Amino acid sequence: MTVFVSRDKINSGFTSKVQRLADQNLMACYQCGKCSAGCPMAAYMDIPPNQMIRLAQLGMEEELLDSEAIWLCVSCMTCNMRCPKGVRIAELIESMRQIKLRARQDHLQVETIPTADLRAIPPIALIGSMRKFTS
């Protein structure tokens, strides 16, 4: 992926908003890649976790908020447990989802789930996906 780094983006406030919502310091990340190496969803993501962190450091709001990757993370906490710098990647990705959801941009349209699925899928999965994917 080609991205253009600019002072405007870096100072746009996106970086600090993500940090505030997650109570994390993005700048602690030194790009070792361990989070992506153990992430169960990385193979399906358009931007792997370590790159999400890098882009967030640079204020790349559009690239991140329009990605599939933020919705693929399931908060399994594997990355958090293994990051040598103690960065809570899962919290940072959750805050990116929250920025979308708080603008009422839901990822899941519950009304499109077939009735048969609603019956077959247990509440633990339905409520989990509604909590993660809807506002």
Partner 1 sequence: MKLSYFPGCTLKNHARNFEDSTLYAMDKLGVEAVELDRWNCCGTVYSLSTDDLMRQVAPIRNLLRTRERGDSQLMTGCSMCFNTLKRANNRARANEEDLASMNDFMYDEPVDYAGDVDVLHVLEVVRDQIGFDAIRERVVKPLEGLRVACYYGCMLVRPNEAAIDNAENPRVLEDLITVLGGEPVDFSHKTECCGAHQTVDKPEIIADKTYDILGAAKAQGADTVAVSCPLCAFNLDHRQEATLQKHSDFHTMPVVYFSQLMAIALGGSESVLRLDLHHTPPGPLLTGKGLL
Exposure on the CB side of residue 88, measured as CA atoms within 13 A? 13
Q: Which of ligand SF4, partner 1, none does residue 108 bind to, with CB < 5 to 8 Å depending on kind?
A: partner 1
Among 15, 78, 83, 87, binds partner 1 (CB under 8 A): 78
Name the binder of 1 from partner 1, ligand SF4, none, CB < 5-8 A by kind.
Answer: none
Please say whether the beta carbons of 59 and 15 come within 8 A. yes
Rounded CA separation 18/65 (Å): 11
Contacts of 64 (CB under 8 A, 6+ apart): 47, 52, 55, 56, 70, 96
- Give me the sign of the Cα torsion angle 93, 46, 5, 35: positive
Q: Does 65 bind partner 1 (CB under 8 A)?
A: no
Residue type, 16: S
Told to check if 32 binds partner 1 by CB under 8 A, we report: no
Of 57 and 98, which CB lies nearer to partner 1 in the complex structure?
Answer: 98
Tell me: does residue 37 bind partner 1 (CB under 8 A): no
Binding positions for ligand SF4, rule: CB under 6 A: 29-35, 39-41, 49-50, 53, 73-79, 83-85, 87, 89-90, 93, 123-124, 127
Residues of this chain, 91-110, that bind partner 1 according to CB under 8 A: 91, 94-95, 98, 108
